[in-house]
Structure 1
Amino acid sequence: MPKRGRSDLRDLGRHIAIVTTASLPWRTGTAVNPTLRAAYLAHLYPKLEVTLLLPWLALSDQRHLFPDGLEFASPDVQEAWVRAWVRERAGFDVAFKTTWYPGRYDNAFRSIFAVGDVTQYVPDSEADVAILEEPEHLTWFHHGRRMTDKFNHVVGILHTNYIDYIRRGGHGQPGGPAAARLVYAANRKLVSVHCHKVIKLSDAGQRVRLRLLAAPAPAPHGQAPCAVGGGAPSAPAFTAGAYFIGKALWGKGFTELLALLAAHKAATGNSLRVDAYGAGEDADDIKAKAAERGLALRMHGGVDHLDARLRPFRVFINPSTSDVVATTSAEALAMGKWLLCPVHPSNTFFATFANCLIYTSPANFAAQLRVAESADPGPLSGDDRRRLTWEAATERLLDAAAIDGAEWPHPLARLKDSLTWPLINVAVGIEAVRRVVGAGRFTAHNPGSLLEYDPEAPGPRYSANHVVRHLALGYPEPRIL
């Protein structure tokens, strides 16, 4: 195996494919951040060829997932919506190319997975650099070409602490400690097989076998100009108290939020009012559990964090410990609000900002809350404002993603992965295996066209996925893996 030299994403003429697991208008970090990452890469480095690969969902999945009744008859229509969103957020026209791959939404995993091999949607002539947003998620059920065989330079960005989600289980989702251990091992192997380098957003992400950065990349995601305005003279006065924003799923911080509010009520005798914004399958259950405990949690629907309704709030409470890095926390700081969050590896970067109040216990939370309630947050310094921009985040990403000669995987590790992948690929291509592990029925191969795949179609090739079928037959949701 020949020795490889330095590979730098800033080199002129490079083709960069950013592959992600979600698309706007679903308001999730793996839809928002990769889209803005592609926009700023193409804008700041016009000599780079940037392609954003997004999952295309059938109308039935769109209606289940997208907010405000949004649905799109074709990828072109959705692409126009995404480009308009970027133009409004970033203030410039989109210069990247958009490519779609067929996807499906799985209610058990609360996630989107590819149908078929995503590498087929990048021409070999353009297959140079791949940035895999959530490489473990993208490759759990991947059957086809190995990413490092398709692309010359593959960087994985670990967004989500899936091990924490799976360890928790419960609330009708698959999981538990045994499943978490299995997925932990699978993630390490798959990331090693499909990536040359991995960027960990914080120490909250799981350990992987590949050479990592000397330290987790700070502030890997930036904020658009319309968000970074904290402390500006035109900033509105804060007239409301505390709020939380996130997908209405127990694993997205609501478990910790209810526990924190209950502990605060028990310690102080007062029920702290918090307005929570977010849509998701657990919204009704969260609302019911809060009412049972007598908590003053008001549930609202999903909104964009920059929505005018959220501007008056002074304090963003984010008690989540399941994030690797919370985009919403960065957004709150960029808007000049107080951020109240626990001591946790995912909050290490945010703790460097003066407007971040870290708590270590429910009692300390109450003390920090009094600080936030008694004074307005201070203006962001020039350096803090710069650190929160997408321009700065893009430069940090390019620095982190470069691979020096000594950083390429060791030849022995490359040989082991080259021998292991064919076995994994054969196994994950067996329909019975795919059904057991939750890959969905008849999803190993690419459909003839993007519009062909329909999870609700009665036909033998593209019929409902395993979870939908189980529920339709009256069985409990399977505890996958």
Structure 2
Amino acid sequence: MRRATAAVLLLATATAAPRKRKLSLPRLGSIATKTGAPFLTSQPLLNLLLGIRLRYASWGAPVAHWWPRGGPSSKRAEVIDAPKPETDLRDPAKTILVVTTASVPWLTGTAINPLLRAAHLAQARPAGRVCLYLPWLEPDKQKEVYGDTAHFKTRREQATYVYDWLCNIAKLPEAATKLRIAFYDAHYHRPQGSIYPMGRTVEALRRPDFTRYSLSDKDIGEWRPDAVVLEEPEHLNWYSFVEGHSSSWRSSTDHVVGVIHTHYVRYAATERMCPGPLGYLVHPIVGPYKACAALLMARWMTNGHCHRIVKLSGTLPRVGNDDAEIIANVHGVRDDFLEIGSRRAVTHPYSSSSDARLSDALAEPSKPRTKGAYFIGKLLWQKGLGELASLLVASQKEFGGDLPDGAIHVVGDGKDRRAIENRFRQLKVPSVFHGRVDHADELCRDFRVLVNPSKTEVLCTTVAEALAMGKWVLIARHPSNEFFYDFPTCLSFDSKKEFAEQFAYAVRHEPPPLSPKERRRLSWAAATERFCDASLMPSSIRLRFHQRLACFLHVHLGRGFRGDVIRSIAGAGLSVGRQSAYVRAKERAAAGGDDVPVAAVKDEEVPEAA
């Protein structure tokens, strides 16, 4: 009652009293903390109540000062509790379900990192204790996502491909024998370039036909895990099918950990609603509201389905309570990246990065020579490709019209590839575009410096891989990159001139080798330890009212025809939004005894959005 009274008084004072200093949310947050009403700082509606405008940054993303990102904002968060023993994932007796939104052969972070996390968790416990829950795309939809890499007619074929990837690419044959793989129905949503679950996911765990594939066999039957790891919990639950309380992930276990991979708020802020000049005009007005809606949805889904929230870096806005969320880099790199780095380590003297002056950058290149600079990743504007082109143009001007060490190599593919190629061509940036390949491929091994100016990443996996391979990495000075600053081969920049100097220095000097301790920090063994530490929950933590309310609203608003309408209007379209219709069509097909493929059901009952 005292806190509620303080909140009302604070709001009345903030809106009515004249102030010499401009009232901002960070300032209001500090005032609220002192007055005993810190929960106000986490309410997006405060923007409307105070009439505070969302300022717009020059590159198109709203300023991230809607509320504080880090640090405890409540007295409860300052209390240090002993962790609950039942939340210790190091216990080999625990069964763990890892759920993700993508699968190899799609070489994206949300496919590779959860797979390797599940493999390393499985390695330390008996066979069958860890299950990886992957999306299953129907054969006619696979080419759009997987390209010509692979084509699977059955789920067993895809499970075999995943096991082969673990054994031959990741070099984890022991983990492959212990890991189990299950599939949920999914659909590729072309406008958003994402895979979304279709039909039952958490509900399927309790069904007698729930199938888990092993390397050479399969297990069928109900499965109740001791802990669930949701990779991208907001993405998994935005448009998911619900049929009541059983659709809540917290109903399946008392320990649900959500790992947030992607900054969807920034993506929503920078993505234009329509192409052409109209998009440029509308975007500055609509962008902040889209970002605010994405943030509200992310907070709703994570609070409604998770006990513990792990954020990969401090660039993410706060989505949960301070006693529920933690910032930790729980990703690592495959051992083959570290092996590549140890083989190509250069031990001759080198200049320090602090000596990267213009005169030093123009000096004779060191020996042995390797190829120059490259970028690898999805070819999307949100990945910073536009900023990269502008930075390279500025570097050309700095060095008399030519890039030091020749053309930049761009490795990867994506829906914006053609537009990005045209931009580089128009700006006359010397560049070579390659297709999608694995970062450990021969094509990428001899490059000397990875350039990644993106500020929309949460934690860039390719930067960690390049560090492990013994390359220079040239990255923007940004909270998402703080984990990498301590490495001797990391060069950061904050201006075009600084980028030009660091770029020229990197392409003309061999990087120093990493120490064993630095190599260990990048490994998946260290990342798994950090993940187990981050997953521990303090003993005094209990679910709060707003967390229970978020779950209740989601599992009841999303039921039946009403849920289909809400999802379709909210951005899922007819292809993903009509979850209940999809489930009913499958049930009718099963009851009729017809061997109807899922694709046919989807085409009949859930037509593609125009």
Q: TM-score if structure 1 supplies the norm length? A: 0.89
The one of 212, 221, 226 equivalent to 2:336 is 226
Question: 1:147 — aligned with what?
Answer: 249
Distance 2:234 2:93 in 1: 28
Distance 2:479 2:428 in 1: 31
Relative to structure 2, which stretch is displaced further, 164-173 or 189-198? Answer: 164-173
Higher relative helix content = 2
Other structure's SS at 1:340 match: strand
Residue segments in structure 2 that go unaligned for 5+ positions in a row: 1-82, 207-221, 276-282, 347-367
Q: CA deviation at 1:320?
A: 0.9
The one of 166, 172, 176 equivalent to 2:287 is 176
Question: 2:229 — aligned with what?
Answer: 131
1:255 aligns with 2:386: yes
Question: 1:195 — aligned with what?
Answer: 306
Other structure's SS at 1:228 match: helix
1:145-168 superposed Cα distances (whole Å, 9 cap, x missing partner): 111122221000010011111100
Query: How many residue pairs get matched?
Result: 460
1:161 aligns with 2:263: yes
Distance 1:427 1:344 in 2: 44
Distance 2:596 2:465 in 1: 35
| Structure 2 CA distance for partners of 1:128 and 1:428, relative to 1, 3 Å | farther
Q: Is the 8 A contact 2:231 2:258 kept in 1?
A: yes
Instruction: Name the aligned partner's letter for residue 139 of structure 2.
Output: L
The one of 513, 526, 530 equivalent to 1:379 is 513
Distance 2:439 2:607 in 1: 36
Q: CA deviation at 1:195?
A: 0.4
Q: CA deviation at 1:48?
A: 7.4
Q: Is the 8 A contact 1:161 1:323 kept in 2?
A: yes
Relative to structure 2, which stretch is displaced further, 444-453 or 80-89? Answer: 444-453
1:106 aligns with 2:159: no
1:316-344 superposed Cα distances (whole Å, 9 cap, x missing partner): 00111111000000000010000000100
Distance 2:552 2:325 in 1: 29
Other structure's SS at 2:518 match: helix
1:273-329 superposed Cα distances (whole Å, 9 cap, x missing partner): 210011111111111111111111221100000001111100000111111000000
Q: Is the 8 A contact 1:132 1:154 kept in 2?
A: yes
Distance 1:379 1:418 in 2: 49
Question: 1:217 — aligned with what?
Answer: 328
The one of 119, 137, 143 equivalent to 1:57 is 137
Other structure's SS at 2:558 match: helix
Distance 1:148 1:199 in 2: 16
> Identity, % of aligned pairs?
35
Other structure's SS at 1:405 match: coil
1:35 aligns with 2:115: yes
Q: Is the 8 A contact 2:409 2:433 kept in 1?
A: yes
| Structure 2 CA distance for partners of 1:214 and 1:120, relative to 1, 3 Å | closer
Relative to structure 2, which stretch is displaced further, 449-458 or 92-101? Answer: 449-458
Distance 1:453 1:263 in 2: 52
1:119 aligns with 2:196: no
Question: 1:207 — aligned with what?
Answer: 318
Q: Is the 8 A contact 2:138 2:599 kept in 1?
A: yes
1:239 aligns with 2:373: no
The one of 288, 307, 310 equivalent to 2:441 is 307
Distance 2:469 2:475 in 1: 16
Q: Is the 8 A contact 1:100 1:121 kept in 2?
A: no
Relative to structure 2, which stretch is displaced further, 426-435 or 312-321? Answer: 426-435
Question: 2:161 — aligned with what?
Answer: 81
Distance 2:300 2:318 in 1: 11
Other structure's SS at 1:434 match: helix
Distance 1:355 1:230 in 2: 15
Distance 1:243 1:418 in 2: 44
Other structure's SS at 1:322 match: coil
The one of 542, 549, 554 equivalent to 1:421 is 554
Distance 1:297 1:210 in 2: 45
Other structure's SS at 2:491 match: strand
Other structure's SS at 1:227 match: helix
Q: Is the 8 A contact 2:341 2:468 kept in 1?
A: no
Q: With CA pairs under 8 Å and 6+ residues apart, which has the higher RCO, 1 or 2? A: 1
Q: Is the 8 A contact 2:310 2:325 kept in 1?
A: no
Distance 2:369 2:227 in 1: 44
1:179-217 superposed Cα distances (whole Å, 9 cap, x missing partner): 111111111111101100100100112211233578521
Q: CA deviation at 1:405?
A: 1.1
Q: CA deviation at 1:54?
A: 0.4
1:353 aligns with 2:353: no
Distance 2:600 2:379 in 1: 24
Q: Is the 8 A contact 1:455 1:463 kept in 2?
A: no
Question: 1:297 — aligned with what?
Answer: 431
Question: 1:477 — aligned with what?
Answer: none
Instruction: Name the aligned partner's letter for residue 410 of structure 2.
Output: A
Distance 2:524 2:113 in 1: 10
Question: 2:65 — aligned with what?
Answer: none
Q: CA deviation at 1:375?
A: 1.6
The one of 577, 598, 605 equivalent to 1:453 is 598
Distance 1:271 1:202 in 2: 36
Relative to structure 2, which stretch is displaced further, 331-340 or 66-75? Answer: 66-75
Q: Is the 8 A contact 1:163 1:183 kept in 2?
A: yes
Q: Is the 8 A contact 1:200 1:213 kept in 2?
A: no
Instruction: Return the index of the structure with the highest Cα Rg.
Output: 2
Q: CA deviation at 1:350?
A: 0.8
Distance 2:99 2:237 in 1: 11
Question: 1:341 — aligned with what?
Answer: 475
